[in-house]
Structure 1
Amino acid sequence: MSAFDPAAYLPDDLLERIRARAAAVDRDNVFPDEDLAELRAAGYLAVLVPQELGGAGLGLAEVAVLQQRLAGAAPATALAINMHLVWTGVAKVMADRGLDALRFVQEGAVAGDVFAFGISEAGNDLVLFGSDTAAVPASDGSYAFTGTKIFTSLGPVWTQLGLHGLDTTDPENPQMVYAFVPRTDAIVTRDDWDTIGMRGTQSRTTELHGAVAAADRVVRRVAPGPNPDPIVFGIFSVFEVLLASVYTGIARRALDLSVAAAKARTSKKTGRPYSDDPDIRWRVAEMALAYDALPPQIAAVAHDVDGCADRGAFWFPALSGLKHRAVVAAKQIVDEAMLVGGGSSYFARNELSRLYRDVLAGMFHPSDPESAHATVAAAWLGPVSG
């Protein structure tokens, strides 16, 4: 088997074109349509799809590396594409465990479909374990979904929306329903994405007014609440690994920019480059020490997902902890990079200032700090007594 070469899937010239567009995308608060077009043409939407179905046949561990690479060029583009890759990753996780219910996602990705992630809801801290969206069944096996989803990345461009809702037609046995709906008049995408950073994701609010998922697009019905069902594990595992990857990519870019700035700046006091200053050297070393711990952690967890490893009750703490450590470290690294870069990094035209705004989004993705700590505490200490 030949060694994995990230440049074969994300060539340097493609990344440079994406990087060159990132500032304008952020400034104009628009979706990076050109990035998506080039990534689609390069087959990137199908990197997690098996070769026999027309994809690249990569594993989660390899795509995690690619997403770090893409995030170093354009964090918002990487985060937006992440949400499509989550669904193709879930399809792979389930297929690896003998469940072929999401083959249509794999085939759609090869054909050029863009899958969005419609899970987040305002005030719903249950996330995967509950929903305020009503899922109403029909006699033909289809479901109609009515509710509001927030942070729907790829808002202007998605063709299929993967979502969940709660079926309460049997009050004694409510069911969480996972399904996919096409973009129709029953779905309204608000133009309401005006944020500090990650502006290119265009993660807009999505209104569902009886949006119908055909029977063959209803992929899973599970009991609400904490659940080890394969679709829950698939979503959580791929989501957390790829999120950690994006923010690790931001951290690496900030580290690289700070190294370049330290070498380019000259001290008036000493006449020597700032890279010789002991305080600057210590600061860059601290950044590098924090960064160096991230890629191996991502690789270890992703390889275990790919290999169907059994971590038992420690799977969810491992996944939420991975994401939490990555975003906390990335934010600290960008903070330090701003200081190494000096006052010029505070100008909006400076790439570091954009990374500074983009990295803030990491703390708002599931698992948030409170949820991550609660999950890890429950694994080590057990549930709260009483």
Structure 2
Amino acid sequence: MDYPYPKTERQAELIALADALAGPIAARAATVDREGVFPYQNFRELHAAGYLGITIPRTLGGLGADVLEYALAHERIARACGSTALAANMHCSLIGRIDETGMWPAELLERVNRDIVANGALLNSANSEPDLGSPSREGLPSTTAERTPRGWLINGRKRWASLAPALTHMLVLATVVDGDSPPRRGNFLVPASSPGVRVEATWDNLGMRGTASDDVIFTGVEVPRDALVPIDGSATPGDGLGWSAFGGAAVFLGIGQAARDAAVHYALERKPNGMAGPIAELQTIQHRIAAIELDLLQARTLLYTTAEWWVARPAERGANMWRLAAAKYVVTNAVIRATDEALRVAGSAGLALTSPLQRYFRDARTAIGQPPLEDVALTTIGKAALGLSPGGNRDGAANHDAAVPVATVRSV
């Protein structure tokens, strides 16, 4: 049920590119999950096809997708392998955001983008910490960046840094220690090859087992003064935030669609003794498939119509940021229900490690840890509906003076 997309030739081209990549990626998905290994070959193929630059503007050598085009394509990667799609989204959505806001120095921006396009460089944030909780709640990190005569000295430990062993650039959230100035949060672009950077293989998770979301330890890491780079603070409301919101939701929508397809296939092929036809002829199976279909239809409709609105009407973004939270909330819960129903269609057979249904079930549940967290999403939506902020008032009209919460890109 992909209707009505693609609507444009450009959407069709990017979907076709993702579909072409998805076949070999899908063939490796079970091994990636079972062994909990990072899918290096998948990323080599993504680079060779130019896909790692899908969110990079054409002027910088990328494919120049907008957020809707990117989400439509990336859902296809997620249908093949959730781990690959989620890890790639961390990279693609972050560079998309950085490019859209244009807050980095031009020379640095061009150098990083060209490195991605030409060499397959990978970029991700290293935000989360054992004691910090969700970085979106604005606490000060335990990781510090202390001013030195030559630049900054970084010390600390990060967790859940997706793509950790494959990264070439890490965007590290740290507490800035600069003389007598009050401590503040800052983001530092750190080459992963810097002396003192060490990846510790700690990732052993229920789902998304191939994202290599390991710990990264920084011990006396020296970086130059201009390594401190801006991430937030664009004067344009909502600037850059659509990439992670729509790309991330598309990952989980793709997992839900893959579970639906596998459940339908099982129902049509399973012919137990005592039945003349497949279990698809049973009303209880039809009802379960119908529940999956309706959940995914509603989630897909909300996600992509919101992304389409985001692209077409940028002036309205700031007053309607709650729609990003709504899309994430609806997709998350729809996919959790859909993957559960898919397992019920197959019964015990779906729990076997040889069945992809158990992988979809586990991968879908990792959505609960992706920002915005459920309580934050519901608070944002509720305040908007009540006209309390952000982005709405009690009669349903847009509140153009409402404050807009800034989401923090998070590693898995």
**TM-score higher than 0.5:** yes
Report the alpha carbon displacement of residue 168 of structure 1 after superposing the two structures with TM: 4.4
Q: How does 1:312-323 map to 2 (within 5 A)?
A: 312-315=318-321, 317-323=322-328
Aligned residue runs from structure 1 range 267-346, under 5 A: 267-307=272-312, 308-315=314-321, 317-346=322-351
Matches within 5 A, 1:250-261: 250-261=255-266
Instruction: Report the Cα offset of residue 105 of structure 1.
Output: 3.3
Gaps of 5+ in 1: 223-227
1:131–1:164: 8 Å Cα contact kept in structure 2? no
Aligned pair partner of 1:119 in 106, 120, 127? 127
Q: For residues 1-386 of structure 1, what are the structure 2 equivalents within 5 Å?
A: 2-5=9-12, 6-12=14-20, 14-95=21-102, 102-111=109-118, 112-125=120-133, 127-128=135-136, 129-132=138-141, 133-139=143-149, 142-169=151-178, 173-183=182-192, 184-220=194-230, 229=234, 233=238, 236-307=241-312, 308-315=314-321, 317-381=322-386, 382=388
| 2:217 partner amino acid | E
Q: Percent identity?
A: 28
Deviation, 1:231, is: 9.9
Partner letter of residue 311 of structure 1? R
Q: TM-score, normalised by structure 2?
A: 0.83
Structure 1 range deviating more: 253-262 or 229-238: 229-238
Relative to structure 1, is the Cα distance of residues 212 and 377 closer, same or farther in structure 2, using a 3 angstrom cutoff?
A: farther
Please give the secondary structure, in 1, of the residue aligned with 2:165.
coil
Relative to structure 1, the CA distance from residue 61 to residue 143 in structure 2 (aligned partners, 3 Å threshold; closer, same or farther) is farther
- Distance change >3 Å, CA 235–CA 196, structure 1 → 2: farther
Distance 1:150 1:375 in 2: 27
Counterpart position of 2:403:
none
| Cα distance in structure 2, aligned partners of 1:360 and 1:2 | 34
SS at match of 2:166: coil
The Cα of 1:158 is off from its aligned counterpart by 0.5
Q: Distance in 2 between matches of 1:86 and 1:209?
A: 28
AA in 1 matched with 2:124: A
Counterpart AA for 1:298: L
What is the SS of the residue equivalent to 1:64? helix
Are the structure 2 counterparts of residues 231 and 166 from structure 1 closer, same or farther at C-alpha, using a change threshold of 3 Å? farther
Q: After superposition, give the CA deviation of every residue in 1:60-90 in whole Å (9 maximum; x if it has no partner).
A: 1111111110010011011111111122211
Structure 2 residue runs of 5 or longer lacking an equivalent are: 1-7, 390-412
Closer, same or farther: CA 168–302 of 1 in aligned 2, 3 Å: farther
- The answer (yes or no) to whether the contact 2:55–2:93 under 8 Å persists in 1 is no
Q: Deviations over 1:172-218 (max 9, x none)?
A: 65432123100122212111111122111010011122334433442
SS of alignment partner, residue 289 of structure 2: helix
Cα gap change, 1:272/1:221 in structure 2, threshold over 3 Å: closer, same or farther?
Answer: closer
- CA 1:61–1:114: 2 relative to 1, 3 Å: same
The CA RMSD measured in Å over matched residues stands at 2.6
| Higher deviation after alignment, 182-191 or 115-124 | 115-124
In structure 2, distance between residues paired with 1:10 and 1:309: 30
Are the equivalent residues in 2 in contact too, given 1:275–1:281 (CA < 8 A)?
Answer: yes
User: Are 1:116 and 1:161, in contact at CA under 8 Å, matched by a contact in 2?
Assistant: yes
Q: Report if aligned partners of 2:147, 2:179 keep a CA contact under 8 Å in 1.
A: no
| CA separation of 1:64 and 1:363: change in aligned 2, threshold 3 A | same
CA contact (8 A) 1:93 1:234 kept: yes
Q: Is the 8 A contact 2:237 2:317 kept in 1?
A: no
Match of 1:210, SS? Answer: strand
Give the superposition deviation at 1:45: 0.7
Query: What secondary structure is seen at the aligned counterpart in 2 of 1:143?
Result: strand
In 1, the alpha carbon distance for the partners of 2:198 and 2:237 equals: 26
CA contact (8 A) 1:189 1:207 kept: yes
Distance in 2, matches of 1:217 and 1:262, equals 55
The 1-side partners of 2:377 and 2:371 are apart by 8
Contact preservation (8 Å) 2:267, 2:285: yes
**Distance (Å, rounded) in 2 between the aligned partners of 1:20 and 1:52:** 34
**Pair 4,11 (structure 1): closer, same or farther in 2 beyond 3 Å:** same
What SS class does the counterpart of residue 195 from structure 1 fall into? coil
Structure 1 residues 161 and 304: CA distance shift in structure 2, 3 A: farther
